[in-house]
């Protein structure tokens, strides 16, 4: 059974405006912002505005509502970062690699021959995050 949604998770705080984020897009259904420990330049997270722990508990209507927005953000990330491709990831529960328990999709810009960086926990410089975010915002 999936554990209950915890309102105190970091992304819930970002949604409530209690913590900052480098926002690239939002609409009725989703918020998209820069991952602070990017595994590729231009690494963006897309989260639903509805409370959902992960892919298992979000109701089908909310999941389908967020998909067109996910595609909109994916297109802007690819164009804005001049990427050759994208990798999308979604981790579910600790065993699946999930660390923050509000559903999120990772959008990772990819270039031929460029490997994803290891998840070291190193924070990106704020000015680099701002630079990448500006490129992505300009591509919507």
Confirm if 18 and 86 have CB atoms less than 8 A apart: no
CA distances from 96 to 14, 20, 41 (A): 23, 27, 23
Q: Should residue 74 be labelled a site residue for ligand AMP when binding is judged by CB under 6 A?
A: no
Q: Should residue 99 be labelled a site residue for ligand AMP when binding is judged by CB under 6 A?
A: yes
Q: Tell the smallest beta-carbon distance from residue 15 to ligand AMP (Å).
A: 11
Among the options 43, 104, 106, 132, which is catalytic?
104
The size of the chain, in residues, is 140
DSSP 44: E
Q: Tell the smallest beta-carbon distance from residue 77 to ligand AMP (Å).
A: 15
Q: Would you give the end-to-end CA distance of the chain in angstroms?
A: 39
Active site residue 62: no
Interface pick for ligand AMP out of 91, 93, 110, 139 (rule CB under 6 A): 91
Q: Taking CA 74 as the corner, what is the angle to CA 68 and CA 76, rounded to the nearest 5 degrees?
A: 110
Q: Which two tokens stand for residue 31?
A: 């918020």
42 Rama class: left (phi>0) / alpha (psi -120 to 50) / beta = left
Closest to ligand AMP by CB, 72 vs 98, is 98
Interface pick for ligand AMP out of 5, 27, 36, 92 (rule CB under 6 A): 36
Stretch that binds ligand AMP, among 68-76, 78-86, 93-101, 131-139 (CB under 6 A): 93-101
- Would you name the residues annotated as active-site residues? 104
Which residues of this protein are in contact with ligand AMP, per CB under 6 A? 10, 19, 21, 35-37, 45, 91, 97-100, 104
């Amino acid at each position: 059974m999936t554990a209950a949604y915890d309102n105190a998770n970091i992304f819930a705080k970002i949604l409530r405006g209690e913590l900052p984020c480098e926002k690239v897009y939002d609409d009725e259904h989703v918020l998209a912002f820069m991952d602070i420990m990017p595994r590729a330049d231009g690494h963006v997270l897309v989260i639903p505005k509805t409370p959902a722990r992960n892919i298992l508990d979000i109701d089908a209507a909310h999941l389908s509502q967020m998909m067109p927005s996910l595609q909109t953000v994916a297109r802007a990330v690819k164009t804005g970062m001049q990427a050759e491709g994208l990798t999308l990831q979604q981790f579910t529960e600790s065993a699946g690699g999930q660390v923050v328990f509000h559903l999120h999709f990772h959008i990772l810009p990819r270039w031929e021959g460029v490997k994803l960086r290891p998840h070291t926990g190193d924070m990106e410089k704020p000015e680099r995050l701002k630079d990448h975010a500006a490129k992505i915002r300009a591509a919507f």
